Chain A
Amino acid sequence: MKKIKVSLIYPAGDVGKPITYHLVRDFNLVINILHADINLNKMGKLILDIEGEEEDIENGLKYVEEQGIKYKLFTKTIIWQEDDCIHCGACTAVCPSHALSMDKTDWSLTFDKEKCLVCELCVKSCPLNVMCVNIF
């Protein structure tokens, strides 16, 4: 099993295609929608976590491309250097997907990598420089 993060760019007018449905049914993939900005007759964007056999993922992405939808693999991740973090919460002010949030019981920072869109806003907003980009 393999897991990737990918963003799909829908051209204007193409939102009618049930892409995620086909990825699940025809390619046996586990899909998690992280972010969706889909509008009728306008360009749209979908960010997905896709989990499945390597071959299925490959074929699924080929199918996406055949539908005229461009995709981009996320090649970066955000690394939280937790040991150096003071848990101030400044990064949570800018995180669009709530991957970074404050635990309301002990007010420590929590980072849910699954939800991270790698927008890198936290990297600049962290006053202690403990969020960094890892390129792989």
Chain B
Amino acid sequence: MGYKSFDEINEKIKSGKAVVVTADEIVDIVEEKGIQKAAKEIDVVTTATFGPMCSSGMFINFGHSDPPIRMGKVWLNDVPAYAGIAAVDAYIGATELSEKRGMEYGGAHVIEDLISGKDIKLYAESYGTDCYPLKEITTYINKENINQAFMFNPRNAYQNYNAATNTSEKILYTYMGTLLPQMGNVTYSTAGQLSPLLNDPCYRTIGIGTRIFLGGAQGYVAWEGTQHNPGQSRGENGVPLASAGTLALIGDIKQMDKRFIRAAVYEKYGISMFVGIGIPIPVLDEEILKYTAIRDSEIFTNIYDYSVPKRSKPVIKRVSYAELRSGSVEINGKIIPTAPMSSLKKAREIAELLKQQIKTGEFLLTQPVSNIPGENRTCTLDIRGEVK
């Protein structure tokens, strides 16, 4: 074990000699050459995902006006932002809805528009203080005239996720898309064998401080993500059988590209944001490589019945991602069509782009400053008032 270090791999990257492949390509390479040989030859495996991730948003600092204002309430293009921090700092969440346009425009659209270079209307109110006398401001901002705009996403890159179906008689509108009655379809949302945390299931190389591709910019893993649940049950190959680990990610909005950050509207559900993430995995030893070579047929998830609006939804069936990708699954003798919710085409584009960036020395790897937890428990929330 352990025959390459981060430093050695980075030296190879700098001299343009690093061998980099995507997590799709590694599957065939390992099949042809075997783990041992492949682990020696390959330095980095790139992973990626491009899916809707609601737990995303942006911190922004507007700069000070004259006279100055201590912003108490902030709206960006009529979408409320959280301003309960310092005078001209705010955070806008991806799922926040416009107060004027409702579900057709929200926080994710503000972020996408800012990345695109568009002007955004800023309106803020304040109670006025001795040092910040201004009580109201209306102006326009864009990515050139603000101090900082960085994405901080509390929960991204879910390691595995539910598949969804609907056994009820009525159509359901969910964050897993439109679910047709009587199990008319099954939807799933993952990049499967290309997905970052499914390629490093025990968080050996992805940790706090890992440099990543985020929305077209170079970003970082900031922390474990919210609801990080490494204790999820796992298969013999170490891969979680349901949603498990998550990552909190950070990156500079000003360097991002609209091709990799897109606002999304789910009918009668609300707004989300497609986030393009690429994470390189250094092949430090054979075990790490073995994990990256796990394929869709060896990764499983549960199909849940989303017509039961409870915290624990009934499991209809356990299936592999190879089955889901085939276009249909069999449930109780019935063939049910399947459909993806996250874009594998775009995920592949990101994995390929990151591969090129590493090959050309534009992107260097970082060793985690600290690992993310490998064990914990997740809490639930008791209702102590009336259930409404």
Which residues of A are interface residues toward B (Cβ below 8 A)? 86-90, 92-94, 102, 104, 106-108, 121, 124-125, 127-129
Contact = CB atoms under 8 A, between A and B. Distances in A.
Interface stretch (B5-13, B141-149, B342-350, B379-387): B342-350
A87 B341 contact: no
B211 interface: no
Interface in B251-270: 262-267
A121 B178 CA distance: 9
Interface string B56-73: 000000000000000000
A127 B343 contact: no
Contacts of B266: 127
Nearest to A123: B267
Contacts of A129: 265
Nearest to B263: A128
A66 B378 CA distance: 69
Given A87-B343, A87-B345, A127-B52, A104 B327 contact: yes
Contact of B339 (A86, A89, A104, A124): A89
A47 B325 CA distance: 30
B47 interface: no
Contact of A93 (B50, B178, B265, B274): B178
B259 to A, nearest CB: 9
B122 interface: no
B327 to A, nearest CB: 7
A80 to B, nearest CB: 15
B340 interface: yes
B264 A102 contact: no
Contacts of A108: 345
By secondary structure, the B interface counts as: strand
B272 interface: yes
Given A127-B265, A127-B272, A86 B177 contact: no
Contacts of B272: 127
Contacts, number: 72
Interface residues of B, number: 29
A86 B346 contact: yes
18 contacts: A86-B262, A86-B274, A86-B345, A86-B346, A88-B52, A88-B340, A88-B342, A92-B340, A93-B178, A93-B179, A93-B339, A104-B327, A107-B340, A107-B348, A121-B178, A125-B267, A127-B52, A128-B263
Contacts of B263: 128
B345 A106 contact: yes
Contacts of A89: 339-341, 343
Nearest to B339: A93
Contacts of A86: 50, 262, 274, 343, 345-346
Contacts of A107: 340, 343-345, 348
B25 to A, nearest CB: 14
Contacts of A102: 327, 339-340
A100 to B, nearest CB: 9
A17 B190 CA distance: 49
Contacts of A106: 345, 348
A90 B345 contact: no
A124 B267 contact: yes
Contacts of B187: 90, 93
Contacts of A92: 339-340
A125 B342 CA distance: 14
Given A125-B177, A127-B272, A90 B265 contact: no
B262 A128 contact: yes
Contacts of B177: 90, 93-94, 125
Contacts of A127: 52, 264-266, 272, 274
Closest 9 CB pairs of A and B: A93-B339, A127-B264, A89-B340, A107-B344, A87-B345, A107-B345, A88-B343, A92-B339, A125-B178
B180 interface: yes
Nearest to B164: A93
Interface string B331-373: 0000001011111111010000000000000000000000000
A88 B53 CA distance: 13
Given A87-B346, A93-B179, 5 more contacts: A86-B262, A93-B337, A107-B340, A107-B343, A125-B178
Contacts of A93: 177-180, 185, 187, 337, 339, 341
Contacts of B265: 127-129
A113 B267 CA distance: 23
B350 to A, nearest CB: 12
A84 to B, nearest CB: 9
A121 B267 CA distance: 11
A93 to B, nearest CB: 3
